């Protein structure tokens, strides 16, 4: 396993629509393991493959808190097949947009269909933080960031700040 570099805003890679994984091979499992290690190292509770520059429909999640044993969830080609009408608001953040947080309203409960690490088809009913996290990560697979769900004013301010920082980092000292 290896910790990979996390792609940050405003890298256009984050806008890519990820492609489905055709076959769950050892390479795919190795990539999922790298994603998990990268997420734990950050630390974060969810990571999509596109955030390490690989636009494939792969997600890792672990919402266990510090007192609980690790509980990694591997999702290959996840898709939401049902949403509740009831919504929930969470303050979200993203490893690709460090130190930015914003309240996002999403369906409170979702049912997600995916393949697990072994390639087995699965379905899982999710609520609470897990439901929010899964929706946030699936958005990544479609090139959508949580700041795209905030007001245009707030989103533009964040993009501007990161664009400026990236430009400054490129300029010679």
Query: Any idea which residues carry the catalytic annotation?
Result: 137
CB of 88 to Ni ion, least distance (A): 17
Task: Identify residues 8-47 at the interface with Ni ion (CB under 5 A).
Answer: none
Q: Is 130 one of the binding residues for Ni ion (CB under 5 A)?
A: no
| CB nearer Ni ion, residue 59 or residue 94 | 94
Count of residues engaged in binding Ni ion, rule: CB under 5 A: 1
Stretch that binds Ni ion, among 2-10, 32-40, 72-80, 89-97 (CB under 5 A): 89-97
- The residue of the chain with the least Cβ separation from Ni ion equals 94
Stretch that binds Ni ion, among 29-37, 92-100, 122-130, 165-173 (CB under 5 A): 92-100
Stretch that binds Ni ion, among 91-99, 107-115, 126-134, 149-157 (CB under 5 A): 91-99
Task: Return the sign of the alpha-carbon dihedral for residues 54, 56, 59, 60.
Answer: negative
Are the C-beta atoms of residues 36 and 131 closer than 8 Å to each other? no
CB of 112 to Ni ion, least distance (A): 16
| CB nearer Ni ion, residue 7 or residue 122 | 7
Q: Is 94 one of the binding residues for Ni ion (CB under 5 A)?
A: yes
| CB nearer Ni ion, residue 24 or residue 131 | 131
Strand partners, 86: none
* Residues that bind Ni ion in the complex, under the rule CB under 5 A: 94
């Amino acid at each position: 396993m290896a910790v990979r570099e996390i792609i940050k805003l405003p890298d256009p890679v984050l806008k890519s629509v990820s492609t489905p994984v055709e076959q769950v091979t050892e390479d795919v499992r190795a990539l999922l393991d790298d994603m998990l290690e990268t997420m734990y190292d950050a630390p974060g509770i969810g990571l999509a493959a596109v955030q390490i520059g690989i636009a494939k429909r792969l997600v890792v999640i672990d919402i266990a808190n510090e007192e609980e044993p690790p509980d990694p969830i591997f999702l290959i080609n996840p898709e939401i097949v049902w949403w509740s009408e009831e919504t929930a608001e969470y303050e979200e953040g993203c490893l690709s947009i460090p130190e930015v947080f914003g309240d996002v309203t999403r369906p409170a409960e979702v049912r997600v269909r995916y393949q697990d690490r072994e390639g087995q088809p699965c379905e899982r009913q999710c609520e609470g933080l897990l439901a929010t996290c899964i929706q946030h990560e699936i958005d990544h697979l479609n090139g959508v960031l949580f700041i795209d769900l905030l007001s245009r004013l707030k989103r533009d301010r964040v993009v501007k700040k990161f664009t400026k920082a990236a430009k400054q980092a490129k300029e010679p000292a």
